[in-house]
C-alpha cells in the first residue's frame, strides 16, 4: 500500500543527503573523542532530522523562545546524533563537537543544558518521559501551546519510571506530548527479545491510555506521514510513535551489532568505509 506522498521527492532527497552528512559527522566526532555510542546515535538520525527540519516549531537563533516545541533525548547516550543535528541546523558551530567528552566541553558525554538546543540533562535511563510530562503539563497550567517530543530507547522502557510517567501523562491528558520509541530491538547486553521482551510496545502504551502509532524509522515518507496523522489526532491522549529502526543504521559493519553500542579508541577504517547512504528506509 502506497503511503500518501507527504513530501516531494526532491525534499526527500535533500533529507536523505542530510542524513548521510549527519552519519559521517557522528562517526567523525566519536572517533575524534575516542569514545561514544555510535550504534544508538545512528538509529535515530532520520527521526531527529524530521523533528528539526520538518516537524518542530523551532528557531535556532532563538533557542529559548517561549513558544518553541521542546525535544528531550531520554536515551541520552544517543546524544552524538543530537549534537550533529543541532549544529547542522545552526544552533552552534560544529567546532563545539570537537571537544566532545573533553573536560569543560559543552558537548558532555550525555546531554546537559548549557549547550543551545539542549532542553534537559539526561543519561540515566527512564527519566525523560517524566521530565517531558512536567514540561507538557506546564503548558496546560500556563495556557501555552507548545508540544513536547521525547525520544526513548526500547531497552530504556524496561525502566518502571517510564510506566509511572505513562499513567501520569494519560491522567493529565497531556495531548501535546509525543513520545517516540527508537525500536532498534537491541539493548546493551543483547537483543531486547532475549534480555527483556517487550512486545507489543504499542499495545502496552495503548492500555495506558495513549494514542499509538508506528512507522519505518528510516523512511522520511513514513515518518512524515505518521507525524501528520499525529498532528491531526484530536483526542486528549498523549501520543506514542514506535519507530522501527536498526541499531547502527547506515554503517554496514555496525548494523544490528552489540559492538556498535559503545566504542573506545578511534573507529577503524573497516567500519568507516562501510558507511553508506540510506535511501529506502528499512528496505534498504
Sites of contact with other proteins (CB under 8 A): 112-113, 119-124, 126-138, 141-142, 160-161, 164-165, 167-168, 171-172
DSSP tally for the chain: helices H, then strands E: 10, 7
Instruction: Please state the separation of Cα 9 from the chain's center in Å.
Output: 23
Select 14 or 110, whichever has its Cβ closest to other proteins.
110
Select 45 or 132, whichever has its Cβ closest to other proteins.
132
Select 132 or 201, whichever has its Cβ closest to other proteins.
132
Select 78 or 126, whichever has its Cβ closest to other proteins.
126
Residue 140 is placed in which grid cell? Answer: 496546560
- DSSP per position, 169-193: HHHTT-TTEEEEEEE-SB-SSSBHH
Task: Compute the least distance from the CB of residue 114 to other proteins, in Å.
Answer: 9
Task: Compute the least distance from the CB of residue 65 to other proteins, in Å.
Answer: 13
Length of the chain, please? 284
Select 100 or 220, whichever has its Cβ closest to other proteins.
100
Kindly report the backbone phi and psi dihedral angles of residue 231, in degrees, each rounded to the nearest multiple of 5, phi listed first: -65, -35
Q: Which DSSP helix (H) or strand (E) runs through 223? A: helix 220-232
Task: Compute the least distance from the CB of residue 92 to other proteins, in Å.
Answer: 19
Nearest to 44 by CA among 256, 245, 235: 245
Task: Compute the least distance from the CB of residue 76 to other proteins, in Å.
Answer: 9
Kindly report the backbone phi and psi dihedral angles of residue 75, in degrees, each rounded to the nearest multiple of 5, phi listed first: -85, 75
Task: Compute the least distance from the CB of residue 156 to other proteins, in Å.
Answer: 13
Q: For residues 196 and 122, what is the distance between their CA atoms, to the nearest angstrom? A: 22
Amino acid at each position: 500500500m502506497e503511503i500518501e506522498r507527504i513530501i516531494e521527492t526532491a525534499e526527500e532527497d535533500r533529507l536523505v543527503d542530510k542524513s548521510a552528512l549527519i552519519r559521517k559527522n557522528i562517526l567523525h566526532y566519536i572517533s575524534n573523542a575516542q569514545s561514544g555510542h555510535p550504534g544508538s546515535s545512528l538509529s535515530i538520525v532520520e527521526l531527529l532530522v524530521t523533528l528539526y527540519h520538518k516537524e518542530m516549531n523551532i528557531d535556532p537563533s532563538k533557542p529559548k523562545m517561549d513558544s518553541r516545541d521542546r525535544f528531550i533525548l531520554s536515551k541520552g547516550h544517543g546524544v552524538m546524533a543530537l549534537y550533529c543535528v543541532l549544529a547542522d541546523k545552526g544552533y552552534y558551530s560544529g567546532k563545539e563537537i570537537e571537544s566532545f567528552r573533553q573536560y569543560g566541553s559543552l558537548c558532555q558525554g550525555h546531554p546537559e543544558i548549557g549547550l543551545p538546543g539542549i532542553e534537559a540533562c539526561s543519561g540515566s535511563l527512564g527519566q525523560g518521559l517524566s521530565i517531558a510530562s512536567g514540561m507538557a503539563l506546564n503548558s496546560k497550567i500556563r495556557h501555552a501551546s507548545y508540544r513536547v517530543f521525547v525520544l526513548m530507547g526500547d531497552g530504556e522502557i524496561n525502566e518502571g519510571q517510564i510506566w509511572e510517567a505513562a499513567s501520569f501523562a494519560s491522567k493529565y491528558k497531556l495531548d501535546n506530548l509525543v513520545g517516540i520509541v527508537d525500536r532498534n530491538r537491541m539493548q546493551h547486553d543483547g537483543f531486547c527479545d532475549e534480555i527483556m521482551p517487550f512486545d507489543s510496545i504499542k499495545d502496552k502504551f495503548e492500555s495506558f491510555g495513549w494514542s499509538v502509532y508506528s512507522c519505518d524509522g528510516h523512511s522520511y515518507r513514513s515518518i512524515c506521514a505518521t507525524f501528520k496523522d499525529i498532528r491531526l489526532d484530536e483526542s486528549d491522549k498523549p501520543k506514542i510513535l514506535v519507530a522501527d529502526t536498526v541499531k547502527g543504521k547506515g554503517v554496514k559493519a555496525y548494523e544490528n551489532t552489540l559492538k556498535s553500542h559503545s566504542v573506545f579508541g578511534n573507529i577503524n577504517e573497516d567500519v568507516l568505509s562501510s558507511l553508506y547512504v540510506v535511501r529506502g528506509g528499512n528496505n534498504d
